[in-house]
Amino acid sequence: MRRLLCRVGLLLIGIAAWSAITSAAESGFLERRGTELYLDGKPFYEISFNKFDLVWQLVAAESKTKGFGEDPASSAEEALREMHELGFKTFRAFCGMPAHYFDTAKRDTYFRALDRMLALCDGYDLRVVFCLNVIGCVAKDHGETLVDLVARPESASRRRLEEFVRAVVTRYRYRKAVGMWEHENELLLMADIGGKQRLWNGQAVPTLPEVAKFHADLAALIRTVDPHHLITTGDSFRYSQWHLHQAIANNAPNAWQADTLEELGRAIGMCQKPVDVYCVHYYEWGRKNANMVTGPDGQATSCTPAAFTQLAKAQGQPCYIGEYGVLPMPRNEKEEKFWAENPEWFTSFEQDPQRARQVVKAALEVLVEGRPSLAHWWCYQSNRDMDQRNPQRMDIDLQRDPDLTQLVVDANRRLQMQTMGFSYVPNATAEKARTPNAGAAPKPSGTVGK
């Protein structure tokens, strides 16, 4: 009888597990199975874009404030329409605005902006990596700093974080337009810097174990509210992350020596274990002396995106490169050394298009070879006024940079064909997507178009 009951129990567990998988697949939620992401019951791989300022634009539109052009709501929708037309299914945005949430006069405006973003995502079949930007919860009015938020669960900062996260996650926990919850942008970069005093620009900084514990606490909090969505950290890192940790642990000066890949993986992995999807940021492929680790022979060697896919798989997780890109560099006296080492680099996406194309194409080729589950290029169509006036602006878009945008589209198609055997990218060129209303998605219900 005991053996029979055991078999029945195992059968019920198996049915429940299959039911959960089927439910996730039918819901349209992005999900994880082992080291892969799945969408609609199929393996999912994509190279898409950051649209970091989207929520800021929509808040500006709701509050009728300046800083994002004459019609921020229309330009926000235009960006998502273009991404949809180009075959993208995901993007990443900075969605957390704790200062607006805790200001009762601005809270409704903030939530209206988030509602509008997700309605647009529904209409254009997009899912957002929803960065919560929780550093904004630091209770500066209580004299607290980042360390209080990260390392002191009893702090006023942590109480604010819990209120903010619960409110936002509860409101959107059933929305398939949320692809993943992301904790913060590049928190790990703050770990163990600032020498023995652990002070960076006058601010106390956390240790690597404190950041790892914070990620575990925040992931656990999110899961108590929302068991449906995936969670990632939003972390970037330093190529000396393990040496910096060891220096602080041994009360020694900062050690900026490059880690081996094993050491680097150990440091990054501590922070990624509590979440579903392994996250890193990666920039400047092709730039001399960038992305260097210590090789087996003790010499510096370049670390490619493929290395992080392997580190993630070794930890049993999908790899998400949350920011990927190459950035323009001005020609001036300050950057003489850079130009001496990198004469083939570019000064501007718009004003130096041929060399920009060469550098972007090479970076995308190595990204496709690395086969991450998901990667978001930095970045698409920034509408901040400050970026419009910047000759070294970091964004590209279909109107100003159709050739560069097409490179990202083509890289996405290649990655999907290699990993999935099909692609969501339509058999259309970037030029077709530039045509207004070309194959436009139906207007979603709710706030869109009002």
Tens-digit pLDDT profile for residues 297-312: 999 999 999 999 999 9
Q: What's the CA gap between 265 and 242, in Å, rounded?
A: 9
| pLDDT, tens digit (0-9, with 9 covering 90-100), for 346-398 | 999 999 999 999 999 999 999 999 999 999 999 999 999 999 989 999 999 99
Tokens 């700093």 locate to 145
Whether 119 and 76 have beta carbons less than 8 Å apart is answered as: no
Which among 438, 444, 398, 406 is positioned nearest to 425, based on CA atoms? 406
Q: Which residue intervals of 37-182 are DSSP H helices?
A: 54-63, 72-85, 98-101, 107-123, 146-151, 156-172
| pLDDT, tens digit (0-9, with 9 covering 90-100), for 170-218 | 999 999 999 999 999 999 999 999 877 778 888 889 999 999 999 999 9
* Mean pLDDT of the region 114-139: 98
* Mean pLDDT of the region 70-88: 97
For the record, the structure tokens of 28 come out as 């349209």
Which among 110, 50, 82, 20 is positioned nearest to 402, based on CA atoms? 82
Whether 232 and 277 have beta carbons less than 8 Å apart is answered as: yes
What dihedral angle (degrees, nearest 10) is formed by the CA atoms of 401, 404, 407, 408?
-80
3-state secondary structure of 414: helix
Which among 226, 266, 223 is positioned nearest to 243, based on CA atoms? 266
Whether 103 and 153 have beta carbons less than 8 Å apart is answered as: no
* Mean pLDDT of the region 232-241: 98
Q: What would you report as the CA-atom Rg of the chain, rounded to the nearest whole angstrom?
A: 22
Q: Please tell me the predicted confidence (pLDDT) of residue 200.
A: 86
For the record, the structure tokens of 196 come out as 């023995």
| Pairing mode, strands 46-50 and 90-94 | parallel
Q: What's the CA gap between 93 and 50, in Å, rounded?
A: 6
* Mean pLDDT of the region 417-446: 65
Above 80 in pLDDT, residue 450? no
Other Cβ atoms within 10 Å of 183 Cβ, number: 27
Residue 397, C-beta contacts closer than 8 angstroms, at least 6 positions apart: 79, 82, 380, 381, 405
Other Cβ atoms within 10 Å of 364 Cβ, number: 25
- pLDDT: is 434 or 121 the higher one? 121
Task: Work out the pLDDT band at 295, boundaries 50, 70, 90.
Answer: very high
* Mean pLDDT of the region 389-417: 96
For the record, the structure tokens of 315 come out as 């930890």
Q: Which domains does the chain have, with CATH numbers?
A: 29-434 (3.20.20.80)
Above 90 in pLDDT, residue 274? yes
Work out the burial of residue 211: count CB atoms within 10 Å of its CB; fewer than 13 is exposed, 13-18 middle, 19 or more buried: buried
Which among 222, 314, 301, 229 is positioned nearest to 272, based on CA atoms? 314
Above 90 in pLDDT, residue 87? yes
Whether 48 and 88 have beta carbons less than 8 Å apart is answered as: yes
